[in-house]
């Protein structure tokens, strides 16, 4: 199938999901929940989250030199610097578990080591400043603080464990030249590349700036009121830079690279969202697994309750910030604070759609190990937190 036909097919599927008339369906069941979730995903996350992320990932693969990525995130890079940068990236990006995937794929394919790339993969959606602040305000400062500390430590621990477990494979990957993408082009000045990338990150961040809590004031609320002005400023700056600094062949290569990420990732994401909606439904809706089963299973602070919360969080799809009201309802229904933290640490960073795409980038074995590490660490953290606050 020609690339044009593939693009038209994906565009048609997206438009079908975007305008899916779910209100006209004469039934309310898991199939409805699956279709409603995929429409919500198409409307709220593709245009403003994923499309900018695809272009950023394409820019990384084309305009950021492989030598630079390897220097700061490669197998021989300074570990303290690599993990420090990767572990706090989420506080800047504030993306969901699916939006981070093109960025993760871009830096990994460009030469980043598995450990730093995995730390970035976890931290991107997990260390969201607004989500942590909202958690502390709605669910209590103890859970908010535990989530903030746990997310940073988790990203470092998960990345370092992945590095150790697959150390031999990573060395072979580095030594055998599997990261060779051809001869490096002459780099643009660093300041130009930095401004160009910053403009796209600015578009991604401000276009998706979440609304403050009702009645709240301050810097976050002020930025929200100005979000489209700020987004427009970064978009205008990006257009000027593209016209002034880039040639037509460079722009064509950037477009092809961005399309390659979209072609690889979007079909898996939509398939995963449909399955997640079918099994678990949406907030306020029922999937094949009734919500009362989940509520009953996460009461108390037993190892089973924490493990179940971690597993449920890992497979559910959480749009940014939606995990807080969901947990508020679960805690009100009897969920323990330990399992609540376990779900917070596993949920926003993982989802079934997320897992399918990760598998396409690093393979089944590494994906299973990564998910297992997150679930185990979330379970243990939940149990310890439950003991401390009981």
Our CA dihedral for 234, 73, 147, 350, rounded to 10 degrees, sits at 80
- In this predicted structure, the answer to whether residue 183 has a pLDDT above a threshold of 50 is no
Read off the DSSP letter of residue 299.
Answer: B
230 phi and psi, to 5 degrees?
-65, -40
- In this predicted structure, the answer to whether residue 91 has a pLDDT above a threshold of 70 is no
Residue 182 is predicted with a pLDDT of 43
Confidence of residue 377 (pLDDT cuts 50, 70, 90): very high
Place of tokens 């971690």: 310
Contact by Cβ (8 Å): 205, 197: no
Q: How many whole angstroms separate alpha carbon 78 and alpha carbon 120? A: 15
Residue 179 is predicted with a pLDDT of 45
* Bridge partner residues of 299 (DSSP): 335
E strand residue ranges, the chain:
none
Tokens, residue 214: 């009702």
Q: Is the pTM of this model over 0.85?
A: no
- In this predicted structure, the answer to whether residue 94 has a pLDDT above a threshold of 60 is no
299 phi and psi, to 5 degrees?
-75, 150
Is residue 316 classed as helix, strand or coil in its secondary structure? coil
- In this predicted structure, the answer to whether residue 180 has a pLDDT above a threshold of 60 is no
239: nearest Cα among 199, 188, 198? 199
Percentage of the chain lying above the pLDDT 70 cut:
79
For residues 192-210, average pLDDT = 82
Higher pLDDT, 165 or 1: 165
93: nearest Cα among 223, 231, 202? 202
């Amino acid at each position: 199938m020609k690339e044009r036909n593939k693009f038209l097919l994906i565009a048609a599927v997206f438009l079908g999901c975007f305008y899916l008339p779910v209100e006209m369906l004469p039934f309310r069941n898991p199939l409805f929940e699956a279709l409603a979730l995929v429409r919500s995903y198409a409307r709220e996350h593709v245009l403003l989250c994923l499309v900018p992320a695809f272009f950023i990932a394409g820019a990384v693969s084309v305009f950021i030199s492989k030598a630079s990525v390897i220097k700061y995130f490669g197998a021989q890079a300074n570990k303290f610097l690599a993990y420090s940068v990767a572990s706090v990236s989420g506080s800047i990006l504030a993306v969901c578990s699916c939006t981070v995937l093109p960025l993760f794929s871009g830096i990994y394919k460009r030469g980043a080591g598995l450990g730093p790339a995995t730390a970035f993969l976890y931290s991107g959606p997990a260390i969201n400043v607004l989500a942590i602040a909202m958690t502390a305000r709605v669910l209590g400062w103890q859970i908010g603080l535990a989530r903030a500390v746990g997310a940073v430590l988790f990203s470092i621990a998960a990345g370092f464990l992945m590095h150790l477990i697959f150390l031999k494979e990573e060395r072979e990957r580095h030594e055998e030249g599997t990261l060779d993408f051809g001869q490096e082009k002459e780099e643009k000045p660093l300041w130009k590349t930095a401004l160009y990338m910053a403009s796209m990150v600015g578009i991604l961040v401000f276009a998706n700036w979440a609304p403050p809590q009702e009645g709240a004031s301050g810097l976050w609320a002020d930025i929200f009121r100005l979000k489209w002005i700020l987004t427009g400023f970064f978009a205008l700056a990006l257009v000027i830079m593209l016209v002034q600094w880039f040639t037509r062949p460079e722009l064509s290569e950037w477009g092809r690279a961005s399309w390659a990420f979209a072609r690889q990732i979007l079909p898996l994401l939509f398939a995963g969202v449909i399955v997640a909606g079918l099994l678990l439904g949406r907030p306020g809706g029922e999937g094949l697994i009734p919500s009362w089963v989940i509520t009953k299973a996460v009461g108390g602070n037993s190892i089973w309750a924490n493990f179940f919360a971690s597993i449920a969080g890992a497979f559910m799809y959480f749009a940014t910030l939606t995990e807080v009201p969901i947990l508020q309802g679960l805690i009100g229904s009897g969920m323990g604070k330990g399992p609540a933290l376990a779900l917070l640490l596993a949920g926003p960073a993982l989802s079934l759609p997320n897992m399918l795409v990760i598998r396409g980038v690093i393979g089944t074995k590494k994906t299973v190990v990564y998910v297992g590490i997150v679930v185990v660490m979330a379970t243990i953290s939940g149990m310890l937190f439950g003991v401390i606050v009981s």
